[in-house]
Chain A
Amino acid sequence: DQQVKQNSPSLSVQEGRISILNCDYTNSMFDYFLWYKKYPAEGPTFLISISSIKDKNEDGRFTVFLNKSAKHLSLHIVPSQPGDSAVYFCALYSGGGADGLTFGKGTHLIIQP
């Protein structure tokens, strides 16, 4: 029973355009939401996060949106650059549960020149 779903295994976007990565969850107890980026042969790198009291957080080219009623999280990257090609994971945290993060399966983002 997957609590966190990233329904697009891969996404191809042209350089300079917007990349939108999506994440859906089922457990309303999650109260902190993170995005990680992973290159092959490296560990996940933290990108941006948002707490459940907000609906948007922005950091440079990266913006995370949270829709609590729809249990939906998205990451916008604009403009997309070739170095953004990687696997992106959403990771969710529930303060009332285990102290670990619950990850989605990831979306492989490919930026085309």
Chain B
Amino acid sequence: DAGVTQSPTHLIKTRGQQVTLRCSPKSGHDTVSWYQQALGQGPQFIFQYYEEEERQRGNFPDRFSGHQFPNYSSELNVNALLLGDSALYLCASSLEGQGTVTQYFGPGTRLLVL
């Protein structure tokens, strides 16, 4: 049973650049959520995708955008990178309509912005 996978594992970018992170959900899951975890903090909700649409969004600017594909995999795009975007980006998957809100996380992509 394949768990949540993310790529790449690490990434270094410079200010102003754009980045794309990728996520494949756990087998059988149809919903993908993205989180940002800064050093010493808990994960913060960015947004959630279901049926290829952004369903809910946390307190993040429009520089953060995403996409979900028909196979349920997802991408997170961040434009005009700032130093403060350096963080661990976590993808989590879940299955809609199962009476549970449990989300299963991938290992994350560590982004460093110089």
Chain A residues close to B by CB (< 8 Å): 4, 32, 34, 36, 41-46, 49, 89, 91, 93, 95, 98-106
Given contacts A93-B101, A98-B58, contact A103 B43 (CB under 8 A): yes
Known: A32-B101, A103-B35. 10 other contacts (CB 8 A): A43-B107, A43-B108, A46-B103, A49-B100, A89-B43, A91-B42, A98-B48, A100-B46, A100-B58, A101-B43
A93, B58: Cα distance in complex, Å: 13
**Please, which residues of chain A bring their CB within 8 A of the CB of B48?**
98-100
Identify which of residues 4-47 in chain B touch chain A, using a CB-to-CB cut-off of 8 Å: 4, 33, 35, 40-47
Q: With contacts A34-B102, A44-B90, A89-B42 known, is A99 near B107, CB below 8 A? A: no
Can you name 23 A-B pairs with beta carbons within 8 Å?
A32-B101, A34-B102, A43-B4, A43-B106, A43-B108, A44-B43, A46-B102, A46-B103, A49-B100, A91-B42, A93-B101, A98-B48, A98-B58, A99-B33, A99-B56, A100-B35, A100-B56, A101-B33, A101-B101, A102-B45, A105-B41, A105-B42, A106-B42
Taken together as a complex, chains A and B put the C-alpha atoms of A105 and B105 apart, in Å, by 17
The answer to whether B45 touches A98 (Cβ under 8 A) is: yes
A103 touching B108 by the CB < 8 A rule?
no
If A43-B90, A44-B90, A106-B42 touch, whether A101 touches B103 (CB-CB below 8 Å) is: yes
* Set B44, B58, B105: member contacting A44, Cβ < 8 A: B105
Check if B63 is an interface residue, CB within 8 A of chain A.
no
Instruction: Give B6 Cβ to nearest chain A Cβ, in Å.
Output: 8
Write the chain A residue with the least CB distance to B46: A100
Closest to A87 in B: B42
Residue of B nearest to A89 (CB): B42
User: By the criterion CB–CB under 8 Å, are A100 and B33 in contact?
Assistant: yes
- Decide if B45 touches A101 in the complex (CB within 8 Å): yes
The CA of A104 and the CA of B45, in the complex, are separated in Å by 12
